[in-house]
Structure 1
């Protein structure tokens, strides 16, 4: 097992929320000499400078200024991914007390495959905003780490049709059990207690929070020859990690940029999402002159990295017969005639050429003509910036499940192509 796969497993385990994922990325960037910039401050960008900036603590843009070349003529090599994953999110007033059980109400975030959430050892993590003892407002990341909740299935004896037709009512079936007690518990008090345990000794009152549930099972290498990585949140922390690895493995002499946005799973329409102005505003500060910026964008290319649907051997009829990507057979170019993906022949050809140069096979995915097609940040970014874009990703199984599966060879291969892309002299 390579050191990179070991590091990937650590990254996934340490990133139960977008906030934690961005924190992990920041640590890796800082170790490689990248400097943090606050959007509220004035920026003084230097040639060869390495920088990153955050928004909402859940989206990040990291970039490298070129050594000598003019950005207006050399462009930026851009890779985009997203930090969020479908999950269950704790409601604002979540406390439920029924039949002596303490429960929390949850709402569904994104297109969650709900069945696998039952009978799992769940923990909680996220961001807490609180009033400090000195009266100031502060925020902190929180992670309970150990299993603290569960959604038990109803026994088949009480639902004999469960294996045939059980549907899930998100309002009534999903409140998680966190314990037992005679009286209703206070979730905010629980958060305060955990913050104190984590060492935040300035907590006065918890004002609000963004807390999600997550599976405590660690990422695993699976298969007789460890061909597969199985983990939560592969969609799309896997692309965030590969994009970051590609950037840090490059020679860091070209104009390069990695953007990882929050809120893709719910449409990207937020201040920190791909449909928001974050990337555009960063580019305006990188190239303040409007004409030079337009020239830069037209010399640039965006690789939108988000996992693809691998052909499932038990459900092969869900794929177009000629477009069923196999795990460990190479990264996938995603194509859609109706622009659900931003790929065109020019960007596809560029990606194929780079992959061939580093001896990486490439596959193509087109959804069945009688099925709807999902989308990515690719078309959003392409339309917002006017930059030529391609949608790619590694093939995976169980997309949007609490536990997903991808091929280990594909991870290494796509990282090689992204590294090659960041080193390109011209795009």
Structure 2
């Protein structure tokens, strides 16, 4: 498919801005909430009583956001149509006692988060982002978006066999970034963060900080038909889901309640109060039903008719490692979104889900592809099976084909973000 045929520059440009402005899950939630507010959605506190009003609403908790739109005429038993995604990405996260160093170097102690491709974080200019918690319980976002840290690789002169024997990295010994010279001083990093954030370091009671590559997203290739950037797994889906939700609410006579559910902690198992295995989504949907005067019977009917598209990145066929892929299924960039299938339930898709996804793509005029893993290779998983099992909701796993998944910088087709958003919009319109 040529870029001239499908390429929606506006959507992909906007995605690039969103990625650059969202170096942490907390920033992704804040940026998503800002877009929802501009479209007329209103934030609801979980501690408040909810009402039966129609229109757009959303809740945030940490690195998770759930937004939904109740159309006129919705009953307590009206089903939901959900786009599920996650806000977190593998990276290096700051430890509770961050100030460390050795041999005249000041360093920052980090813990490996998720299934990180460690070598992609070497010799890369890194910033620092996340949030700090103040003594009064409020939070402040942190984004030091300039070269601050670096994990230096050992020179080839000191590791002569690296190109033949392979790079071997010890997570504890070799992944500690440097950020200056001299002896480490206790409290130094948090004092610096306080200065950058405009708060007194003495007011900072806790932090959730992480590194990010400061290199911005960019078009790549002779025809600029590829997109390179950080955190596309899985902010690409969060961005597309947000765009789809805002597009869908303009449709007349919505037969269901469109929902965006973007969770945190997918990359380490989803077991948290903001992860897909927690109760957040179920609680929000149930409270919506009950706020509209529903009973448990209405809740059961609404959930029985609900469908979720779990959107996450998947593997494009790799030109240098073709043998690692299933020989009959080779998703390619700009071939449209992928339908993920695994009969062992690492993905939640079944034949009925395939029909739902195919119908949405057909309505949107979007091509789509299949993905299935090579039988000899273990298959990854997503929030899809968790959502299906946790809430009894029919779920379909989809996404965008990419290379370098879990790298500090990933690669996909520049058309595919727009094609995914179009398919998700058609799905939410139902």
TM-score (norm 2): 0.93
Q: Please state whether the residue corresponding to 1:148 is helix, strand or coil.
A: strand
Deviations 1:118-161 (A, max 9, x none): 00001111111233xxxx34321111111111011111111111
Could you say if the C-alpha distance between residues 97 and 357 of structure 1 is closer, same or farther in structure 2, counting changes exceeding 3 Å?
Answer: closer
Q: Which residue of 1 aligns with 2:217?
A: 219
Q: Which residue of 1 aligns with 2:11?
A: 4
Quick check: 2:244–2:425 contact (8 Å CA) kept in 1? yes
Q: Which residue of 2 aligns with 1:331?
A: 337
Partners of 1:196 and 1:379 in 2: how far apart?
43
1:358-397 alignment runs, 5 A limit: 358-397=364-403
Q: Which residue of 2 aligns with 1:39?
A: 46
> Aligned-pair distance for 1:397?
0.3
**Of 111, 115, 122, which aligns to 2:126?**
122
Could you say if the C-alpha distance between residues 38 and 189 of structure 1 is closer, same or farther in structure 2, counting changes exceeding 3 Å?
Answer: farther
Q: Which residue of 2 aligns with 1:169?
A: 170
> Aligned-pair distance for 1:385?
1.1
> Aligned-pair distance for 1:105?
1.4
Indicate whether 1:418 and 2:416 are aligned: no
Q: Please state whether the residue corresponding to 2:94 is helix, strand or coil.
A: strand
Q: Which runs of 5+ in 2 are unaligned?
A: 1-7
1:253-264 alignment runs, 5 A limit: 254=254, 255-264=257-266
Quick check: 2:99–2:188 contact (8 Å CA) kept in 1? no
Quick check: 2:190–2:201 contact (8 Å CA) kept in 1? no
Deviations 1:94-134 (A, max 9, x none): 21132221011111100000111100001111111233xxx
> Aligned-pair distance for 1:71?
4.6
Quick check: 2:144–2:196 contact (8 Å CA) kept in 1? no
Partners of 1:256 and 1:138 in 2: how far apart?
31
Q: Which residue of 1 aligns with 2:308?
A: 302
Quick check: 1:192–1:206 contact (8 Å CA) kept in 2? no
Q: Please state whether the residue corresponding to 2:249 is helix, strand or coil.
A: coil
Indicate whether 1:352 and 2:358 are aligned: yes
Indicate whether 1:70 and 2:79 are aligned: no
Q: Which residue of 2 aligns with 1:111?
A: 115
Q: Which residue of 2 aligns with 1:267?
A: 269
Q: Please state whether the residue corresponding to 1:340 is helix, strand or coil.
A: coil
Quick check: 2:11–2:417 contact (8 Å CA) kept in 1? no
Quick check: 1:394–1:411 contact (8 Å CA) kept in 2? yes
Could you say if the C-alpha distance between residues 377 and 259 of structure 1 is closer, same or farther in structure 2, counting changes exceeding 3 Å?
Answer: same
Quick check: 1:130–1:203 contact (8 Å CA) kept in 2? no
Partners of 2:392 and 2:69 in 1: how far apart?
21
Partners of 2:286 and 2:340 in 1: how far apart?
29
> Aligned-pair distance for 1:229?
0.9
Q: Which residue of 2 aligns with 1:237?
A: 235
Partners of 2:140 and 2:335 in 1: how far apart?
42
Could you say if the C-alpha distance between residues 98 and 69 of structure 1 is closer, same or farther in structure 2, counting changes exceeding 3 Å?
Answer: closer
Aligned length: 414
Partners of 2:210 and 2:346 in 1: how far apart?
29
Quick check: 1:246–1:416 contact (8 Å CA) kept in 2? yes
> Aligned-pair distance for 1:46?
0.9
Quick check: 2:337–2:420 contact (8 Å CA) kept in 1? yes
Quick check: 1:333–1:364 contact (8 Å CA) kept in 2? yes
Quick check: 1:127–1:142 contact (8 Å CA) kept in 2? yes
Deviations 1:298-344 (A, max 9, x none): 11110000011000111111111111111111110000010110001
Over aligned residues, Cα RMSD in angstroms? 1.4
TM-score (norm 1): 0.94
Partners of 1:8 and 1:326 in 2: how far apart?
20
**Of 12, 27, 31, which aligns to 1:24?**
31
Quick check: 2:98–2:189 contact (8 Å CA) kept in 1? no
Quick check: 2:80–2:302 contact (8 Å CA) kept in 1? yes
Quick check: 2:274–2:280 contact (8 Å CA) kept in 1? yes
Q: Which residue of 2 aligns with 1:283?
A: 285
Quick check: 1:122–1:214 contact (8 Å CA) kept in 2? yes
Partners of 1:138 and 1:257 in 2: how far apart?
27
Partners of 1:185 and 1:148 in 2: how far apart?
17
Q: Which runs of 5+ in 1 are unaligned?
A: none
